[in-house]
Structure 1
Amino acid sequence: MLRFKQYPPANLTFYPPFKFLFLPIMLLRTKNRFLIVACALLVMVSCKKRKEGWPIDALVPIVDSQLDLQNIFEDDLIQVRDNDLLHLVYENEILDLKLADDFTIPDTTLSQVNPGPAFNLAWDKANPLISDTNESKFEISNANLTDALIKSGTIKFKVSSTITEPTIITYNMSSGVKDGKTLLLSRNLPAGSPGNPSEVVDEVDLSGYLLNLRGKDLNDYNTIFFYFTVRFANPTSPSNLYNYTSADIVTIENSFLEIKPEMVKGVFTTTTEKPDESNSEFDAFNQIRSGSFDVQKAKFSFEFENRIGVDLQGTVNKLTAINSKTGNFVDLKGDFIFQSLNLARAKEDYSLYQVPIIPSLSKYELNEANSNITEFISVMPNEVQYDMDFTINPLGNISGGNDFLFSDYGIKAKLNMSIPLNIRANNLQLIDTVDFDLGEPDEGAELIEGGFVNVHAYNYYPFRAGIQIYTINEDNVILDSLMEVGAEISAGIPINKKVLEPQYSVLAAPVSVPKINLLYKAERAIVKLNFNTDDSDYKDIYASYKTEVKVVGDFKYRLVIK
């Protein structure tokens, strides 16, 4: 809305021709256009001023913005506590170490040759020709496993035979169970000969099978066992006897391929693990475009979550806050750095839904008294670099063979913080983008002869703020800046450490005709505040704080009445 400045009525009464002249002037806004309509209700005389135009002043609101420090953080990071005081609360997982690759079952091929007798036998074909129990041991590093639940992988069978009659091959891996049934495979094998052995090849998906790796007598580790039988397909044809000779050879080959366990159990040997990745994103301050703030107090908790059924001894060798934008970094110093941290083992509970793990939690508290955590935060890090290692079962096998690991679960390290916003601002920048529309330049723009833009600021924050307002076009290209260099608004004044009423500041900047032309091209305006603390004191920031900026154009028009 345009508001015209009013002049004392006495100015007109000195001129009799205007004694009964009323000139209502209205501003109508339609579709981003300003239309100045002047109606003379009673014209008693005419004069030359009508051709030259009348100079008038018009007040035009052009920007209305509200800036809030809460907006430089994600909504879920800000909490209101302690009598309206703002807190920055952030939980960040910096490590998720999974050890499944250290306890995999390697690709293994097991081959067994079953030769015929040293001398010829008249074999009763009603009896199995071969019936044997076999054990095979996997070469698994870092563990003696008793059980493995398979997530994916296959077992490939290859059987060749020189027996001259058709046979039935049965493979029963009773150490592998799925849905209550053992792995059982039966295949027909055609007749073969020493010169042309018959062959059958097959493959079984082991997904979902639970393998008992204790061996046949349940006193070993990393060992499977299976039964293998060869029977005649036609026990009575062409005869009930078979001439069994040394040339009758059956070879069985088992290949375990790409076995990925979902769970393993047994005894994990004492080893030290170091994470491969050494950097983690820290995005608490990502929305801060420029500047920083210092904090007086902070509470951090460094938390380990162990979902592996082993005892762990962890060491944090280094933890560094890095701001990759500024190049600044700070190494964390605290009681637990370089110390051996004992992390209890997780427990199994198969009454739980889906994953039967009860994790163990170990928490180490940091604050401004026992660490340099406030200096760590003042960097405004966007990443954290770490150097850690973990020793598995530092005291050896104290679980009686009940160590366990689920492939999707491991060791997590979390860095959680709670910071009361009692801060010092260092060019801390707030930005707001608002719509801007002065109308069309072809409808009266040539009548604006200049003037001022007046900024009215209402600031609750106990910081002074440099202010600049930019106009941008539809392509987001900056057209112009409205404020003079060095323009500032005043800080709010705390009473008993809290600002109860906003500090009012008014600033004026001249606007020339070229600037007016640029204003007509603007689609939006950017309001930018740079907050700074005047002294070394830390200031509390409350949820009720904000800064309102209202910009009013005080323009000089020449109103032409035809």
Structure 2
Amino acid sequence: MMKKAIFLFIGLSLLIASCRKEQAFSRFNTNLLLPLMHAELGMDQLLGDSVFIPDPDGSLRLVSSYDLYRGKINDLFVIPDTQRVNTLSLKTLRLADQSKVQVVPLFMIYPDAAALHGQTATIPAQSITGLSPIPVDASAFFKEATLNSGTMEIAITNGYPVEITTLIFQLKNVVDGSIIQTDTFTNILPGASQVKIIDVAGKKLYAQMEATPVLIETAASNGPVLIDQFAFTTIIFSVKDLKPQTAIARFPAQSVINTEETVVYYFGKAQLKKIKVKAGRVSFNIVSTIEEEMEVNYGIPHAMRNGQPFAETFTVPAAPPGGSSTFSINYDISGYEIDLRGKDPTIRDTVNSFYNILDVTIDSSGIERNISLEDSIYMYVGLLDMEPEYAEGYFGGETFFVGPETIDIDIFGGVSGGLGFDNLNFNLVLENGIGAEGRATIHQLTSRNTKKGSTVALSGSGINGPHLLAPATYPPLMPSVKLINLNESNSNIKPFIEHLPDKLDYNISIETNPNGNTSNFKDFLTDGSEVVAKLEVDMPVSVKVDAITMTDTFDFDMTSIKNGVNIIEGSLNIVSDNGFPFEVQLQIYMLDGNGMIIDSLVGPANNLIMAANADANNRVISPLRSVLTARVDRARMPAFRNTRKFLVKAVIDTPKTNTNYWKIYSDYTFKVSLTGDFIYDQNF
């Protein structure tokens, strides 16, 4: 900054003096006059943090820029973390279709068949009761099951040489003796079959059942027939389409949950058609009470990357008996382009609609498991940490507030005094990196000088608004730029700047789509989109300076000088060739380790560095040399030895005899050299 640059020669002189003395003092033992430092400073050193550009005539322009606000896409458009909690009960659960075969040989209903086996005889009509139950072992199907629906099929094929006129049977559970069904077959001719279908909905079946022939009646044979005691009637028990409410069984592999849903996401007022994801993840957290491993297939058909939709498969471990299992997994979704127009945009084109598919399949382990339709899966599915690379749709009428905020401005390096500028010219620049119309309103732009306590609010026709911002274009991304020029004719920019502010307070609002959906859902954002508000300075360095005061401090430690304790007295000679139209009154103070002033090297008398010689057009024609001497006599040496810092104070003025503005040219320089004149103890 200005103060650092103008006093750079002072700080360098003291530091270089220290280094040079280390090398030279051992060769001299009395009065020494040493060249210690030489420097040449231009305007770029005097205001080191600013940019100076020469005009064709060689005069300089000051160019600088200060960001008021620079909002990236994450500041402007946030995809909120969205997590859905789905409580999914088993919608379907089925048992495998299976069959069991039982036979009833002839000798069981016609005991004489054993004695007549192989002979021809007439079989009389039979009416038999009290037959032993026929075991029906369904353990291959299930251990127990309470059924929502299903059928048990009993097929009887008559293998006897006589007609079965009546067969009444009863099917019951062995465990609790509960009767499942009682039914009657009639008039089954030899070699013929008859089928009864039992609806078992609402019934509870156990693996061990009994089919008891309550009554079997057969007709007499039509004359003699060949007797085969082992001829049998076949009873086939089949279970089909069993869908239990609950069961302990060896469940076959099956899909138990299959859903397609369209989830509507909330993006504030934005109505999005698509998003390309820069970063993000699909998160699954699952709690299951199902005592069997499950395979989960999850897909987002309209999320595409490299031509392939998002689809993932993972396995959820079986729950322990009476307990639950938990499972978590995340999938990177970066690079996917997600169509948010719903399941079938060609039929119903909507917005913010996220179509996804979930299929849950039970894996068959062949082990008996206790599973019911009351078992459930708690599935937390989330889109988390989403950052868009590109988003398209209609962003609505959102309003972004830039401020109220305060920034530091260091054009003047915190100097005090009076500084006047000729032909001030500033631009308030608004850059719109969003592919949507905008409207900016400047509610406040105030400069403050915290040292003076002065405040100037910017006003005038140049600042009035609101200001319409055109949309950016893409591809490639080209922000629109709105320049709001602020000059002395359309604003109070002169007092706004000339009280030398060090703070800037601002409050700006930017509204998107003030005229509605003019893009027809073609608003866009990219990861490079920014909304920028900045203040640009571009003005000639043409100034009047009135007692501009600058101060700075520099470290100093005499103990670092070799044999410094032998110095009796001395002086520093500051020789300047000033090529600027500024005169400088220079004061240098010695500070102790606590920062307290203990003495001065250069006081308020005889401390003037003269301004350069100028012509009638205020153009410097030649530098002017000034010599200042900082004397350290024997009485001041103790204070000099205790000095830890130097406080340098400079008061700068343009010539009092000329009240015009002074242009500064690129060939203006300030040359300074420092010599040291020291007297050492003769014994050194």
TM-score normalized with structure 1 length: 0.73
Shift of 1:90: 0.5
Query: What fraction of aligned residue pairs are identical, expressed as a percent?
Result: 23
1:445-464 alignment, distance < 5 Å: 445=568, 457-464=576-583
Letter in 2 for 1:396: G
1:3 alignment partner in structure 2: none
Mean Cα displacement is larger for which, 106-115 or 60-69? 60-69
1:91 alignment partner in structure 2: 65
1:76-475 alignment, distance < 5 Å: 77-98=51-72, 100=74, 102-111=77-86, 112-113=88-89, 115-116=91-92, 119-121=148-150, 122-123=240-241, 128=255, 130-150=257-277, 151-158=279-286, 160=288, 168-188=295-315, 196=322, 201-208=327-334, 209-218=336-345, 219-231=349-361, 233-234=363-364, 247=373, 251=377, 253-256=379-382, 258-262=384-388, 263-276=390-403, 278-286=405-413, 288-291=414-417, 293-349=419-475, 352=476, 357-406=477-526, 409-429=529-549, 445=568, 457-470=576-589
Letter in 2 for 1:386: Y
- 8 Å CA contact retained: 2:585, 2:609: yes
- 8 Å CA contact retained: 1:67, 1:431: no
Aligned match for 1:541, one of 657, 660, 664: 664
SS in 1 for 2:495: helix
Shift of 1:476: 8.5
* C-alpha distance in 2 between matches for 1:257 and 1:279: 36
Shift of 1:331: 1.6
- 8 Å CA contact retained: 2:303, 2:309: yes
Shift of 1:546: 3.5
* C-alpha distance in 1 between matches for 2:485 and 2:83: 48
- 8 Å CA contact retained: 2:300, 2:311: yes
Mean Cα displacement is larger for which, 202-211 or 494-503? 202-211
Shift of 1:295: 1.0
SS in 1 for 2:621: coil
1:502 alignment partner in structure 2: 623
Letter in 1 for 2:53: Q
- 8 Å CA contact retained: 1:115, 1:248: no
> Which structure 1 residue ranges, 5 or more long, are not aligned?
1-27, 38-56
* C-alpha distance in 2 between matches for 1:226 and 1:511: 86
Q: Which has the higher contact order (CA 8 A, sep 6+)?
A: 1
* C-alpha distance in 1 between matches for 2:647 and 2:257: 87
SS in 2 for 1:374: helix
Query: Which deviations, in whole Å up to 9, do the C-alpha atoms of 1:533-558 show, x marking residues without a partner?
Result: 31432111223334445677899x99
- 8 Å CA contact retained: 2:587, 2:649: yes
SS in 2 for 1:71: helix
SS in 2 for 1:175: strand
Shift of 1:217: 1.8
* C-alpha distance in 2 between matches for 1:206 and 1:292: 60
Aligned match for 1:71, one of 42, 45, 56: 45
Mean Cα displacement is larger for which, 535-544 or 299-308? 535-544
Shift of 1:382: 2.6
* C-alpha distance in 1 between matches for 2:418 and 2:636: 33
Letter in 1 for 2:80: I
Query: Which deviations, in whole Å up to 9, do the C-alpha atoms of 1:329-387 show, x marking residues without a partner?
Result: 222224342311111112232xx5xxxx2222222222233222232222333332111
* C-alpha distance in 2 between matches for 1:444 and 1:89: 48
| Structure 1 pair 554–391 and aligned structure 2 pair: CA distance change class (3 A) | closer
| Structure 1 pair 545–430 and aligned structure 2 pair: CA distance change class (3 A) | farther
- 8 Å CA contact retained: 1:455, 1:507: yes
- 8 Å CA contact retained: 1:65, 1:527: no
Shift of 1:253: 2.8
| Structure 1 pair 198–458 and aligned structure 2 pair: CA distance change class (3 A) | closer
- 8 Å CA contact retained: 2:417, 2:549: yes
SS in 1 for 2:497: helix
Letter in 2 for 1:346: A
| Structure 1 pair 285–180 and aligned structure 2 pair: CA distance change class (3 A) | farther
SS in 2 for 1:202: strand
- 8 Å CA contact retained: 1:34, 1:439: no
- 8 Å CA contact retained: 1:108, 1:138: no
TM-score normalized with structure 2 length: 0.61
* C-alpha distance in 1 between matches for 2:434 and 2:84: 30
1:6-45 alignment, distance < 5 Å: 31-32=24-25, 35=28
Query: Which deviations, in whole Å up to 9, do the C-alpha atoms of 1:229-260 show, x marking residues without a partner?
Result: 3445459x799xx9xx9837654634315342
2:123 alignment partner in structure 1: none
Query: Which deviations, in whole Å up to 9, do the C-alpha atoms of 1:386-418 show, x marking residues without a partner?
Result: 111111111111112122224663311111111
* C-alpha distance in 2 between matches for 1:454 and 1:169: 87
- 8 Å CA contact retained: 2:611, 2:624: yes
Give the aligned length.
Answer: 497
Letter in 1 for 2:609: I
| Structure 1 pair 238–144 and aligned structure 2 pair: CA distance change class (3 A) | same
| Structure 1 pair 30–301 and aligned structure 2 pair: CA distance change class (3 A) | closer
* C-alpha distance in 1 between matches for 2:284 and 2:28: 86
Shift of 1:313: 0.7
SS in 1 for 2:577: strand
* C-alpha distance in 2 between matches for 1:475 and 1:422: 41
| Structure 1 pair 441–92 and aligned structure 2 pair: CA distance change class (3 A) | closer
* C-alpha distance in 2 between matches for 1:542 and 1:246: 91
SS in 2 for 1:514: helix
Asked if 1:489 corresponds to 2:615, the answer is: no
> Which structure 2 residue ranges, 5 or more long, are not aligned?
1-20, 94-146, 151-239, 243-251
Query: Which deviations, in whole Å up to 9, do the C-alpha atoms of 1:426-454 show, x marking residues without a partner?
Result: 32346797999999676583xx7x9x987
| Structure 1 pair 515–180 and aligned structure 2 pair: CA distance change class (3 A) | same
SS in 1 for 2:271: strand
SS in 2 for 1:32: helix
Shift of 1:180: 3.6
2:109 alignment partner in structure 1: none
Shift of 1:514: 1.6
Shift of 1:32: 2.3
Shift of 1:169: 3.5
* C-alpha distance in 2 between matches for 1:75 and 1:394: 39
SS in 1 for 2:496: helix
Letter in 1 for 2:490: N
Q: Which has the larger radius of gyration?
A: 2
SS in 2 for 1:347: coil
Shift of 1:532: 1.2
SS in 2 for 1:423: strand
2:224 alignment partner in structure 1: none
